[in-house]
Structures are given as C-alpha cells and as structure tokens.
Structure 1
Amino acid sequence: MSSSASQTSNSPASNQTAASSHNKSSLARLSGLFPFMRPYKKQFLLAALALIIAAGATLAVPYAFKQMIDLGFGAAGDKNTSHIDLYFLALFGVACVLGVATAARFYTVSWLGERVTADLRSAVYAHVVLQSPQFFETTKTGEVLSRLTGDTTLIQTLVGTSISMALRNLLLFAGGLAMLFITSVKLTSIIIVMLCAVVLPIVFYGRRVRKLSRASQDRVADASAIAGEILNAMPTVQAFTQEEAEARRFGASVELAFQTAMERIRARSVLTMVAILLIFGAIVFVLWLGAHAVVQGSMSGGELGQFILYASLVAGSLGALSEVLGDAQRAAGATERLLDLLETQSPVQSVLLPERLPPRTANGAALQLEHVGFHYPSRPDSNSLNHFSLDVRPGETVAVVGPSGAGKTTLFQLLLRFYDPQQGSIRLDGVDIRFLSLHDLRQAIGIVPQDTVIFSANAMENIRFGRPDASDAEVIAAAQMAAAHEFIERLPEGYQSFLGERGVRLSGGQRQRIAIARALLKNPPLLLLDEATSALDAESERLVQSALEAAMVGRTTLVIAHRLATVQRADRIIVLEHGHVVETGTHAGLIAQNGLYASLAALQFNAD
C-alpha cells in the first residue's frame, strides 16, 4: 500500500511549508537560526569582544605606519631617530594584540559553529522521527539525510566563519571609512561616489547566485536519494542484473548536480571578478589623485601611506563581504530546507491532556472498532476501510484474512495510530485511542511485522529494542520463547554477535524470530502479528507456533494470516474484502459456508 501511496509527489504538509517559505526572502530565513543561537549568548558576547579588539588593532596599524613614516623618517636629527625604536615596539605591540584577539575570536566562533550545528542536527532528526508514515510516503530518506549532512555543514560554515567574517569586515569597513575621511575628505568623497556606482550591479547579480545555490543543493539531495534507495535494495538490483542501469542513472543524477554546481560556480566567479575589478579600479583611480597631491605638497607621504592602507582595508572588507554574502545565500537556502522539515507537523498528534489506560487485566486488552472509515491521504477517492466494525474480547485471538488490498495492513496501521480514520472510532480498554498519548498507546501494543527490521547492532541489543531497560536474562528468556536462543548461541560471539546492516548475516526465518523475541520482551496486552511465521521453515514454524501460543496467554492477539496453521489456532476469523467484513466465524464454519474464505483457503492455504 505504501508503495502506491509514495507515488505522489507532494503532501499537504510539504505544500503548506513550501508556500510559507517562498513568502519570505532567502536571507530572512536565516532568522530561523536564532532559537538555536540564543542559548549561547555568553559565547557570542566573548566572540564579539574579541572581534572588536582585533578590528581595533587592525585599524591602528595604518595610523602607526603614518606616525612612523612622518615622525620617524620625515626629518633628520637625533630627536626623530630616537623615536624609531618606540614606533616599532608600538607596532609590534599592536600585532600582539591582533594575534591574541584573532585567535580568541577564531576559537570562540568555531566552537559556536560546531555547537549550533550539532543542536540543529539533533533537533531536525528528533522532529523527523516523530512524523507519521504520511511524511515518509512523500519524502525520500536520502533527501532527509542530505539535509542533515550537507545543509547543516553549510550552516556550520555560516555560524562558525561567515558571521564572524561579516562582522569583522563591517567593522573594518566602517572604521576604515571614518579614518579615510579624517585623512582626506576630498579623496574619500570621490571614492564613495564611485563605490556606490559599482555596488548596485554586484547586488543584482548576487540574486542569481542565490537561486543557483538552492538549485545545486536540491540536485545533490536528489543524487543522495537515488543512492540511498539503491544501496538498500542491492540484492534485488543484482538479481535483476540492473547494476549498470542503476549506475548510469546515478551517474546522470551526479552529472546534473555537477552541471548545476558549475553554473553556481561560474556565476560566483563572475561576481567575485566584477566586485574586485570595479572596487579596486575605483580605489586605484583615487590613489592616483592622492599621489599627485603628495607631489604638489598638499599631503604628506605618511598621510598618503595611511590613506592607501585604509583604502586597502575598505576595499578588502568589501570584497570579503561579497564572498560572505555568497556563503550567507547558500546557508539561507540550506536553512530554508531544514526549517521546512522543522515546520512540517505530523497530522497525528498526542492530545495536550491525554487520558490514561485502566490497569492491565490478566486477560489482555479489549478492542472495539466502530464504523471506521479510512482512505490514505494520497488516495482520497479510494477507501481502504468502509464502516468497519470489530469487537475483540480480552484474551481473544482473531485472525484477519482476505485478498491483497482488502485492508488488513491498514487495520494494523490505524491501531498503532500511524494514521487517524476519517470516520468512526477505535477504543482500547474503553478509551478512544485519539485521547491517549502516542507513547502510552504504542507501549500497549506489540507488533511483529512481515518485513522484519534488524538494526546494525548485536543480537542482544536488537532484541532489547523492544524494552530498553530489560536485563540480559529477560532478553534471553524472550529469545527462548521465540525459538531464537539456539541459533543465536551458535553465532561466533553468541548474543554479542554483530548481525550486519539490516541483518544480512541472518536467514529470513532467523530475522523473523528476532522480531518475535523483541515483541515478546515488550510484553504488551495487545499483540499484532503480521503473518509472523511466513518466512519460517516447517521445523521453525512448529517451534515458533508453540512459543506464540504460550505468548498469547493473557494477551489479546490480532493475526494477519496467510497460512492454515495460523488460522486454525484463532478463536475467530474475520474475512475482509474491499474494506468490509464479509464473513466471520471459525475455520470449519467458514469452509462450510463455501464463500470467499473457502476460495481463499483453496488457493492460499493449498500448500498446507
């Protein structure tokens, strides 16, 4: 069902966030980083202090050169030569202050970049894992990973480098401009008029760089999504000999990302070239005028030297600001993509004041579904369940059978509140599950899915995933109930054996028994089995069936069944077709009715 649903390209949540994001300018989206920066005010103040001291020391250097030239070398005599040592010592002192302040600024802002980026990654990941399956129907895992890695790296550069550089160069620009006016009002006025004329085209062209930056990030995310999808399906790709085709598809995606990146790089290169040529061209022209003023005697050599140094600081700071603006625009695109994730709200939420389940009884949980109607958000015209009603008594085992697409898996997803039905209600022990916290609801339900998930950890931790606070003895007991203990003990390191990514070191039946042990360790009052024995051989099935029969004692159990051995052990069988309950009863009774169940038994249960 999910594969069909995933064909849609846009979810309501993503559309809403995309619309809201486009209403804001790109750089304005950087304000979304403030909540992550606010806890570190002290560190930002320390960085600002170091920045101001370093900028002040830098601005003092040209003045020290002017004094040294005019007073140290400008006239002959013992009085002037005796000051040379003092001026050089003063210049070295300024360099010492500059070095210490710059090192302090670098350390502080680098720490801030790493810290803010780590907080942002954690916040995005923590938010993503709370999303409902509807989010993952329309968002590729590779794209999320790209945002968690590539986009956060851009933000790390912004916070840890670019912001500091921007503030430093703004201070140097403002201070240098002030000193230029003090040195020569005429020359400075000319240079300002010329700079205003060259800044406008730089700003206009910068907009194109911003758009190309966002496009480049999107293409890299697309390539990551393709790689993630294929790497997770390598056995299938190789079984159908599609290695070369998939390599070509990924190569085409990478090439598109490269071409888009080159467009951005070319635009950025042109922007940098234009900025340097125009700005320094204007400064060189003004300095030519200053050289004539020295020759004419209206300006001293030291003043011209000071003017040159301050003009270089102003020009350099402007050039650096254009570079920082490019980084800021890329980081703004990355911030926009990350905030889109953070702003996405799951349609399934816990209520603010949740109700509590009554104390657990010895027989398990009672379950009532009343006139439930549901369609997947991606398929609003096709109902998966229609006026579905079911009353399950505590301790009862109910088998759910039906043809593919009848709504069996949908039923389990609604019970776990991966989705909410559009009609009707679901009650667990008399409490509407919409009024329970998601944590309490899912803690009361154990599930063994047909597609078993094994994590990249050892056997002990994979089973303990069902209840993280369980002791080793409890984990081993659950494994014994699931007939998994024997094969785990035969592994090279027993329960400490690493099972490989997605359990590649285990057979299908072994993976399924690990999943059963995980559910049994959780010890829930309601147990959902999505054909828990489908991947087992006859001997393993016999062992697991006896273990499941023991595990079902004191629990309410719903079983999606495709095998006769599972169905025959159920207290009751319900037959689904097109989201409706069409038959209900025991195995023998339904066979005698000679209806849909009888035909399913003849086809699906024939092997048994």
Structure 2
Amino acid sequence: MSTDKVETRQLIRWIFGQLKPYRRRVIIAILALIVGAVSWLLLGQGVKVVVDEGFLANNAGKLNQMVFAVLGIALVGSLAAYVRFYLMIWLGERVSSDIRKQVYFHLLKLSPGFFESTRTGEVISRFTADTTVLQTVVGMGLSMALRASITFVGSMLLMLITSPLLTLYVLIAVPLVLLPIKFLGARVRTYARNSQDRVADMGAYVDESLHEIQTVQAYTHEDIDRSLFAQRIEAVMQAASHRIKYRALMISLVMGISISAITIVAWLGATEVLNSGISAGELTAFMFYAVMAGGSVATISEVIGEIQKAAGASERLLELLNTKPLIEPPSSPAVLPTKLRGTLTLQNVNFTYPSAPQNPVIKNLNLEIKSGERIALVGPSGAGKSTLFQLLLRFYDITSGNIYIDDLDSQKLDPSALRKQFALVPQESVIFASNAIENIRYGRPDASIDDVKAAAKAARADKFIDELTDGYFTDLGERGVRLSGGQKQRIAIARAILADRPILLLDEATSALDATNEQLVKQALDKLMEGKTTLIIAHRLSTVVNADRIVVMDKGEIVAIGNHQELMQGNSVYRQFAELQLVN
C-alpha cells in the first residue's frame, strides 16, 4: 500500500469533512470558544481600570466595582470553557468512532490478497493508536488552536490600541517565534509517522504470538519471544525519542523566544511609563495582552506538533481507506436466476497470485461439473485445490480464462450475489467469539432458533451443545477454544446446513473427527449434499470412493479424471497419492 504524502491542510480538510454531520455542535462549540476568548481579553481592560482608576487613583469604590466585574467576566469565561470542552471532546470521540467504522467497513470489501501482505496486528494498531491521535487533535487540538488564534488576534488588536509603538516591537518578534514551528514541524511529522509504524509492528507481533500461544509454550519459546518483543518496544521508544526531541526543541524555542521578547517589550514599556508616554494601567494591560499573545503562540506551536503527529497517523489511515478492492462489482451485473441449478464450467483457467506473479498456481484448467454432481479433488500439497475454491468464490480474479455458474460468467456477477450460492466448510473450522446459536446462524442471520437447532441436530452437534454450561447460549470463546476439533467441525457443518446453498465447498469436513463422530457427520453430509453440487478436497479414501468423479490435480493442472478403480489402474500420480496419503 502507498499513498501520496498527506499535507497538513489536507488533513485539516479531511477532519473538517468528518465534522460536517455535526455542524450544529461545532457551531455551538465555536460560539462558546469565541465567548470564552473575548471574556479573557476583556479581563485586560478590567485590569487596566483597576490599576489606573482604582489602585493608583486611591478609589476604593471603583476598585471593588471592577473586582466584581472581573469575577463576573471570569465566570462567563469558565462557563463558555465548559461548553467548549464538553462539545469538542464529544466531537473527538464521535469523529474517531466514525473513522473506525469507515476503515472497518472498507476492510470488509478488500479481498484476501490485501491481507497476504498486511498483518492483522498492524491493521488493529491503525484502528486504535492512529484514531486515538486524531481523536486528541479534534477533541483538544483544534479547539485549543482556534481559541489561541482568536486570543492572539484579539490581543494584538488591543495591544495596538493601547500602544502602537510597543506593538511594533512585538510584531518584530513574531517571525522569530514562527521559525522553529516551520523548520522543526516537518521533522516532528516524519518521526511521528515512523513512531506509529513501530507501534503497529509491536501490535502485530503481540497479536501473532498470543494467537499461537499454545505453540509458543509447547516449544518453550517464551524467553525468545520476550527478547524479540523487548526489541520491538525499544524500537518504539527509539522512534518516539526522535519525535519527542524535536517537538520539545520546537516548544522550548518558541517559549524561549516569546518570553525573551515579552521581557524586552516590558523593559521598553517601563521606559515609556517613566517618560509619561503611557500610564501604568495601560502598560499592565499591554503586558497582560502580550503574555496572552505569547501563550497563544506557544499553544499554537504545541498544537501544530500534535497536528504533525496526526498527519502521520492520518497517512496510515488514508492508506487503508484509499486501498482499492481487487474485486470490484461490475457496473451492470448480470442477474442470477431465483433457483440456481448449480452447474459449474471452467474454461482454460489460469491464475497467479498478485504477490507472486512469476509463479503460476492454476494452469490451463478445464472442467465441467453437472448440477448435483459430487466431485472429489485430490492431489499433493500445492496442487492448487484450495486455490480453486478461492477462485470459485471469486476471492481473486483469474489471470485468464472463464468460470461460469449456470452458464453465467462469474466475472459479470456481483461478487456478493455469487458467494451467496456457495456454502464453505474449511478444514480448519472458523468459530467466532460468540455463542453456539450465533455461530451456526452465521450461515443465515435471519434463521430462527428452531432452525438453528434443526441444523445442529442434522450435523450431530446438538448433543454436545446441550451439554455445554448454557447450552446453545454458551459462549464458545475466542476461536472456539472451549471446543474440541471435532466439535468445531460439526458447528461449521451445521452452519453450512443452515445456509442451504446450491453449491457446497468441503475441505474434507470429516478430517478432524474420530471414527464414531465421522460416521454420524457423514450421514448428515449425505443428506446435506442431496440435490446440491459438491466439491470436496479429499484426504480420506472413503470420500473419494463415494464421489461421482475424482479430479486429480498436480502442480496446478488436471492430470486425470475418473473413479477410484480407473485411476488406481491408469494414473500413477493418483496411485502414488492414494497409497501414501489417503487415509481409510
């Protein structure tokens, strides 16, 4: 994946685009921000009156009056700050949630080819760490930047009214303050992106090692994994230290230049007071505004650092959002018949994986499968059997040739409509972290509980499900850790039975079962396969014997087709495979 570098203004435009649905809240937050900023600016005028007309004029009544006025202004500013903080933090959370939904919805469209080169842990990091950075920018950063900008402009105007000469001195210092922001901000952004990448790498490693925790512990690999994880943690720290160094340098330079400028201006202002150029109250108000302006610049520089960090995070999120699905539905897809016969025709099919274009996986494959026919696919590992399943489901587009379903070209069909014609039972059963009902219902989300139980009974899974703690409502754990291999397989078969689709793809659905359960499930599968076109990747002799035809594959090609007896006598590849690998 790659994308052009995202400029800061593009990031701001993108974020404001995310805020569009919440215009009303944004407007209220901005109004509260303006009221708050104006309140703090008015405090300077209050301080001026307190000094000139109250303190120096020895007027206790005026002093008391202005103190109450200042307290009133502070109260208004505080209430405005509450409204602003509440709304902006809410907007930060909302925008972060919306972006996560956008990214997740987009990922569901991407074909398996994308996930060949992108680790799950890295994607998860983009969901969490990167969106959290954007949440901070929207919830706090933009609010602070807008308030600081208004405060800076207001302070400069009031300073200009108070003393044009001193304001000129301040304006001379402003470019000096902006220099560190310009030159160091780009480095902050570069190192922020690098830091996010290292965090993603760490997340991917954690996901992988914990997913395979049994293998890790079985091979006593814990010490090595601790060492490798520690290396990744140090890589995160090293990348973060560069970002922190330049960001801290930028903020310290801005603060140093600002404080130095304010000190010099205060000295020049004091000279003006001594020369009767301005009053003490005017100088006090001017310095109040100068400090506010300096603080605003410091705030803006800090927020720019956050925005540079967010730009790095947004690049990674936009990479995901800009990744085009390899499988796009046609603009005017062909319509499948309501009742599909389930015939399949493969003509001169060739395929290479996008990640390895130099290695053909399927070569000039031709095969016709009749409605209701049972086809067993056999052959050594790497023969292309599983790849053929992926092509039928159109997880990848074939390099050349054609695949027809009921005489309709699969590439002219909407992929979703095509896949609804297949029920898949993989060799490694997929169980989701939910209860038994939802796992079986995955094949048909609108199915009733009675339908689910009927499917489980047909798959001979009802007995062990009833014995679980909460029966059908028992949570099966992440990836079905509470079930045996055979139990997982029967849940997957029940899912396919409930889906009731015209074409079945079975990756030897009985391979994980013991002899007793295998016989029970075979009875369920025989019933399931009635009237359905079935392709079975076979590893057992009993499977191939019961097939209508056996297709022998080797190195991506069909080398023979026939029944068991014919192939044992006439095909050396099949005979060798049967003797070595088919298990009775």
Structure-2-length-normalised TM-score: 0.98
Matches within 5 A, 1:160-179: 160-179=139-158
Residues 1:39 and 2:18 aligned together: no
Do the aligned residues in 2 keep the contact of 1:27 with 1:329 (CA within 8 Å)? no
Identify which of 188, 195, 204 aligns with 2:174: 195
Identify which of 322, 331, 337 aligns with 2:310: 331
> 1:315 aligns to what SS in structure 2?
helix
> 2:475 aligns to what SS in structure 1?
coil
Identify which of 316, 319, 335 aligns with 1:340: 319
1:474 aligned partner? 451
Matches within 5 A, 1:157-556: 157-360=136-339, 364-556=341-533
2:96 aligned partner? 117
> 2:4 aligns to what SS in structure 1?
helix
Matches within 5 A, 1:60-139: 60-76=42-58, 80-139=59-118
Which moved further from structure 2: 588-597 or 230-239? 588-597
1:315-348 alpha-carbon deviations (Å, 9 max, x no partner): 0000111110111111111111101100001111
Q: In structure 2, what residue type is equivalent to 1:171?
A: I
Q: In structure 1, what residue type is equivalent to 2:164?
A: V
1:15-59 alpha-carbon deviations (Å, 9 max, x no partner): xxx2x423x435533433333221111211111111111111111
User: Within 2, Cα distance between the matches of 1:202 and 1:291?
Assistant: 30
User: Within 2, Cα distance between the matches of 1:215 and 1:70?
Assistant: 55
Do the aligned residues in 1 keep the contact of 2:434 with 2:477 (CA within 8 Å)? yes
> 1:486 aligns to what SS in structure 2?
helix
User: Within 2, Cα distance between the matches of 1:537 and 1:570?
Assistant: 21
User: Within 2, Cα distance between the matches of 1:224 and 1:370?
Assistant: 44
After TM superposition, give the deviation of residue 594 of structure 1 in Å.
4.3
Do the aligned residues in 2 keep the contact of 1:26 with 1:336 (CA within 8 Å)? no
Do the aligned residues in 2 keep the contact of 1:26 with 1:333 (CA within 8 Å)? no
Do the aligned residues in 1 keep the contact of 2:8 with 2:307 (CA within 8 Å)? no
User: Within 1, Cα distance between the matches of 2:331 and 2:177?
Assistant: 56
2:121 aligned partner? 142
Aligned length: 584
User: Within 1, Cα distance between the matches of 2:202 and 2:106?
Assistant: 23
User: Within 1, Cα distance between the matches of 2:358 and 2:565?
Assistant: 37
After TM superposition, give the deviation of residue 603 of structure 1 in Å.
0.8
- Listed as ranges, the gaps of 5+ residues in structure 1 are 1-13
Do the aligned residues in 1 keep the contact of 2:376 with 2:544 (CA within 8 Å)? yes
After TM superposition, give the deviation of residue 92 of structure 1 in Å.
2.2
After TM superposition, give the deviation of residue 208 of structure 1 in Å.
1.6
User: Within 2, Cα distance between the matches of 1:115 and 1:336?
Assistant: 20
After TM superposition, give the deviation of residue 141 of structure 1 in Å.
0.4
1:545-565 alpha-carbon deviations (Å, 9 max, x no partner): 111011000210000001101
1:215-269 alpha-carbon deviations (Å, 9 max, x no partner): 1111111100111111111111222221111111111101110122122222222
> Identity over aligned residues, as a percent?
46
User: Within 2, Cα distance between the matches of 1:158 and 1:183?
Assistant: 35
- Listed as ranges, the gaps of 5+ residues in structure 2 are none
**CA root-mean-square deviation:** 1.3
Identify which of 36, 57, 79 aligns with 2:39: 57
Which moved further from structure 2: 201-210 or 59-68? 201-210
User: Within 1, Cα distance between the matches of 2:570 and 2:102?
Assistant: 56
Do the aligned residues in 1 keep the contact of 2:347 with 2:365 (CA within 8 Å)? yes
Q: In structure 2, what residue type is equivalent to 1:432?
A: D
User: Within 1, Cα distance between the matches of 2:502 and 2:357?
Assistant: 33
Q: In structure 2, what residue type is equivalent to 1:413?
A: Q
1:3 aligned partner? none
After TM superposition, give the deviation of residue 206 of structure 1 in Å.
2.0
Q: In structure 2, what residue type is equivalent to 1:212?
A: Y
> 1:83 aligns to what SS in structure 2?
helix
After TM superposition, give the deviation of residue 94 of structure 1 in Å.
1.2
User: Within 1, Cα distance between the matches of 2:273 and 2:54?
Assistant: 18
After TM superposition, give the deviation of residue 498 of structure 1 in Å.
1.5
User: Within 1, Cα distance between the matches of 2:541 and 2:181?
Assistant: 74
Do the aligned residues in 1 keep the contact of 2:350 with 2:364 (CA within 8 Å)? yes
User: Within 2, Cα distance between the matches of 1:190 and 1:35?
Assistant: 39
Do the aligned residues in 2 keep the contact of 1:202 with 1:274 (CA within 8 Å)? no
Q: In structure 2, what residue type is equivalent to 1:103?
A: Y
Q: In structure 2, what residue type is equivalent to 1:468?
A: P
User: Within 2, Cα distance between the matches of 1:540 and 1:333?
Assistant: 54
User: Within 1, Cα distance between the matches of 2:508 and 2:45?
Assistant: 82
User: Within 2, Cα distance between the matches of 1:30 and 1:184?
Assistant: 36
